[in-house]
Amino acid sequence: MVTTPSLVYVSADVQVIEDYHEPVFYSSNMYWRFQGGVWYSSRYHTRDWVRVTVLPPQIQRIEQPTMYIRYKGDASAKAAAKAEHREDKAEAREDRQEAKEERQEAKAEAREDRQEAKEDRKEAKEDRKDDRKDAKDDHKGKHKK
């Protein structure tokens, strides 16, 4: 099984296989290899190379293809990607924390609502009890006269 190689952008529409023993570029869903002054293309980066004489403009613009042998990605681009990844992780962490706090607030609010409802029921029960007592006392008072 052939895995997809690690690619690094060398222009907006061209990538090169990073740290590879020969200059193999990727553009327009094709791999482009420069060897011995000749260009080859293939759908795979390791086989089925076909010699080509007509290149797409973005590949033609590569002035020194051999300078991309063992090419390493731009350190600042890698650092920027890592920084962006860290920022994304921090943002996701903040989002999770906010969601957690919102859940906790909703739970506390629901707990308070239940407690208030319980107190209202207790108060209503006491009111009914007092009303029954008052009615009983009124009833007794009428019969004493």
Task: Give yes or no: residues 66 and 78 share one domain.
Answer: no
Measured CA to CA in angstroms, residue 51 lies from 28, 31, 88, 128 at distances of 17, 12, 43, 97
Residue 144 has pLDDT above 80, yes or no: no
Does residue 140 form part of some domain?
A: no
* Domain end point (choices 73, 106, 125): 73
Q: Using one digit for the tens of pLDDT, what is the confidence trace for 21-57?
A: 999 999 989 999 999 999 999 999 999 999 999 999 9
Measured CA to CA in angstroms, residue 69 lies from 65, 79, 93 at distances of 8, 22, 40
Q: Using one digit for the tens of pLDDT, what is the confidence trace for 96-137?
A: 898 899 999 999 999 999 999 999 999 999 989 888 888 888
* Domain end point (choices 73, 95, 120): 73
Instruction: Supply the range of the domain harboring residue 116.
Output: 74-135
Please report the pLDDT score of residue 81 as a whole number: 53
Structurally, how many domains does the chain consist of?
A: 2
pTM of the model: 0.51
* Domain end point (choices 49, 73, 97): 73
The answer to whether 32 and 26 have CB atoms below 8 angstroms apart is yes
Please report the pLDDT score of residue 77 as a whole number: 56
Task: Give yes or no: residues 105 and 124 share one domain.
Answer: yes
Does residue 43 form part of some domain?
A: yes
Task: Give yes or no: residues 30 and 83 share one domain.
Answer: no
